[in-house]
Amino acid sequence: MPEPVKMELRDTFNRKIDYIRVSVTDRCNLRCMYCMPPSGPPRCLKPSRILKTEKLLQFLEVARKYGLKKVRITGGEPLLRKDITEIVRAIRDIGVEDLSLTTNGQLLPLFAGRLRAAGLDRVNVSMDSLRPERYREITGGGDLQNVLRAIELAEAAGLAPVKINMIPIRGVNDDEVLEFAALTLKKDWHVRFIELMPVGKKPAARGASSLDGRRVTADELKAAIRAAGELFPMGRSGSSANFRLAGGRGVIGFISPMSDHFCDSCNRLRITAAGRIRPCLFSGCEVDIGAASSEKEMEQLLLYSVRSKEKGSLLQKGVPCGAMSQVGG
- Work out the burial of residue 264: count CB atoms within 10 Å of its CB; fewer than 13 is exposed, 13-18 middle, 19 or more buried: exposed
Residue 253 CA to residue 51 CA, distance in Å, equals: 32
Q: Going by C-beta distance under 8 Å and a sequence separation of 6 or more, which residues neighbour residue 278? A: 269, 270, 271, 272, 285, 286, 327
pLDDT in tens, the chain (329 residues): 666 677 889 999 999 999 999 999 999 999 999 887 666 667 899 999 999 999 999 999 999 999 999 999 999 999 999 999 999 999 999 999 999 999 999 999 999 999 999 999 999 999 999 999 999 999 999 999 999 999 999 999 999 999 999 999 999 999 999 999 999 999 999 999 999 987 654 433 333 356 778 999 999 999 999 999 899 999 998 889 999 999 999 999 999 988 877 788 899 999 999 999 999 887 778 999 998 989 999 999 999 999 999 887 666 555 555 555 556 65
Q: Other C-beta atoms within 10 Å of 100: how many?
A: 18
Residue 169 CA to residue 144 CA, distance in Å, equals: 18
Model pTM above 0.75: yes
Domain ranges of the chain: 19-327
Q: Other C-beta atoms within 10 Å of 132: how many?
A: 13
The answer as to CATH 3.30.70.120 being correct for domain 19-327 is no
Residue 106 CA to residue 17 CA, distance in Å, equals: 32
